[in-house]
Structure 1
Amino acid sequence: MLGEQEAREAIVTTGRRLYERHILASIEGNMSIRLDGDRILATPSGLNKGFMREGDLVVTDLDGKAEGGGRPSSEMPMHLAIYREREDIEAIVHAHPTAATGYAVAGRNLPAAVLAEIVTTLGCIPIARYGTPSTDELAESVIDPIKSYDALLLGNHGALTAGTSLEQAEERMYQLEHFAQISLVAELLGGPKTFSLAEVEQLSALREKAGGRPVPPACYPVDISQETITLTKDELIALVTDAVRTLR
């Protein structure tokens, strides 16, 4: 766990990199790091993340009460909900990278079980249902998917990654965006080729051997020979939406 000064330096440096790599634009996006106890260091509201200074950052408790002056990101409730839900998460990055956000705005799932590096690191990347930005709706929309996933698309909004360090959360954001770009190219070439169930099981074993959690069931290809297939509400909505769009 970083000390507060180190955490401030890390967020400022990360914000600059995200801005320079066009993962963030203007005043959008936000980041946070879990400090000692129940204290969270977060980016401020209404400031370009590529030009922040260490003193601009705001410390809050897990209820969102800020220490001293400053106003944290208006989407802080989303960060706090995630920290409360998962004690292993130490940092969060929320951004609007172009390709990934394009999928989120289109309501399109990124393909599951098509790229080994994604299966072994992120599993797959679901879409959280839309929640109005800066409201409790947004926080509520991520609670269920964040239980099983470290990277999410936010419906009609953007993307979110979490990790055991800010560096890991940042790298996961780059990885998510790169995968979204690869997925777009694959679609132009006729669509991605999905791994077999056995292939995903092998990749899941590699993931667990490296210390990762088991690959979530939704990341596996569907075995159509099964009598019963289980989907979450959000997965069912996404499936029906894709089907309706195809028929139009």
Structure 2
Amino acid sequence: MTLSFASQALIDAGRWIDQRGWCPATGGNFSMRLGDDRALVTASGRHKGYLTDEDFLQVNLAGEAITPGKPSAETLVHTALYRLSPQIGAVLHTHSVASTVLSRLTPGDHLPLEGFEMQKSLQGNLTHEATVCLPIFDNTQDMQILAEQIEQRWRARPLQWGLLVRGHGLYAWGQTIDEARRHLEGLEFLFACEMEMRRLGGRG
């Protein structure tokens, strides 16, 4: 993965995500794996709809900056995911209304989704008849704790496609940036459907 390709791919993703209102203000952060031991991440406090090449830095998989810049504290979640699976090539963390609200409305440690054709947008899921369970983690300002909790749950059963942080937002990932974008878009559609079902009395 070349640095220039990764930077442009994340810039393009940021503009696309911003147009959909999934990452308001300076919230969220994006990353791509550059190799076995490093990743490119968005710097702290940057609006994701207006990213430039200057808004990225490289970190090792411990989340430490190896080029100038200040990584977001949430970088620790990105690098934990890269350590857990060599198949993950990109991570997109967003703050949409649907993901934020739905994560608060849902008790327990996972969000079940079933009966929607769009479930087939998620890698390996071939039917609407399956139940997709997206893990939910309680929010914390200590990203090291959150990263450790993700690792613990992953060791018990590898996570797929993404995860929710309660009252915070979504982390979606994929083997490539295109797959991460597809998972993000598919999950956001599913969240919107689930929210509408609940509003109309069809869930909960």
* Pair 1:129-2:130 in alignment: no
Aligned position for 1:180? 191
Q: In proportion to residue count, which structure has more strand?
A: 2
The reply on whether 1:118 has 2:119 as its aligned counterpart is yes
Identity of matched residues, %: 28
Residue ranges of structure 2 left out of the alignment (5+ in a row): 126-131
Match of 1:34 in 2: 33
Shift of 1:119: 5.4
Equivalent position SS for 1:94: strand
The alpha-carbon deviation at position 183 of structure 1 amounts to 1.2
Measured against aligned partners, the alpha-carbon deviations of 1:73-119 in whole angstroms (never above 9, x if no partner) come to 22011011111111110000111111121111223554433213315
> How far did 1:120 drift?
6.5
Q: Which amino acid counterpart does residue 77 of structure 2 have in structure 1?
A: M
User: Which amino acid in 2 is paired with 1:36?
Assistant: G
Contact 2:29 2:72 in 1 (8 A): yes
Mind listing any 5+ residue stretches in structure 1 that lack a counterpart? Answer: 193-241, 243-248
Equivalent position of 1:72 in the other structure: 71
Q: 1:153 to 1:117 in 2, by over 3 A?
A: same
**Whole-angstrom distance in 2 between the partners of 1:112 and 1:27:** 29
- Which one has the bigger helix percentage? 1
Q: Which aligned pairs between 1:1-150 and structure 2 lie closer than 5 A? A: 2-108=1-107, 110-118=111-119, 121=122, 124-143=132-151, 144=153, 147-150=158-161
How far 1:134 sits from its partner (Å)? 4.9
| 2:164 paired with 1:153 | yes
Aligned partner of 1:51: which letter? Answer: Y
Larger radius of gyration: 1
Alpha-carbon shift at residue 121 of structure 1 (Å): 2.1
TM-score of the pair, normalised by structure 2:
0.85
CA distance in structure 2 between the aligned counterparts of 1:152 and 1:99, rounded to whole angstroms: 14
Deviation track 1:202-229 (CA, whole Å, cap 9, x = no partner) reads xxxxxxxxxxxxxxxxxxxxxxxxxxxx
Report the Cα offset of residue 133 of structure 1: 3.3
Query: How well do the aligned residues superpose, as a CA RMSD in angstroms?
Result: 2.1
2:68 alignment partner, SS class? coil
Question: Which ranges of 4 or more aligned residues in structure 1 deviate by more than 6 Å?
Answer: none
Contact 1:90 1:166 in 2 (8 A): yes
CA distance in 2, matches of 1:176, 1:110: 11
Q: Structure 2: how far apart are the matches of 1:125 and 1:166? A: 22
Distance change >3 Å, CA 172–CA 46, structure 1 → 2 = same
Please give the alpha-carbon distance, in whole angstroms, between the structure 2 residues aligned to 1:57 and 1:176.
26
Using the size of structure 1 for normalisation, the TM-score is: 0.71
Q: Could you tell me whether the CA contact under 8 Å between 1:59 and 1:66 is conserved in 2?
A: yes
Cα distance in 1 between the residues matched to 2:121 and 2:14? 27
Deviation, 1:40, is 0.4
Q: Distance in 2 between matches of 1:185 and 1:8?
A: 36
Q: Is the 8 A contact 1:152 1:161 kept in 2?
A: yes
Q: Which deviates the most, 155-164 or 120-129?
A: 120-129
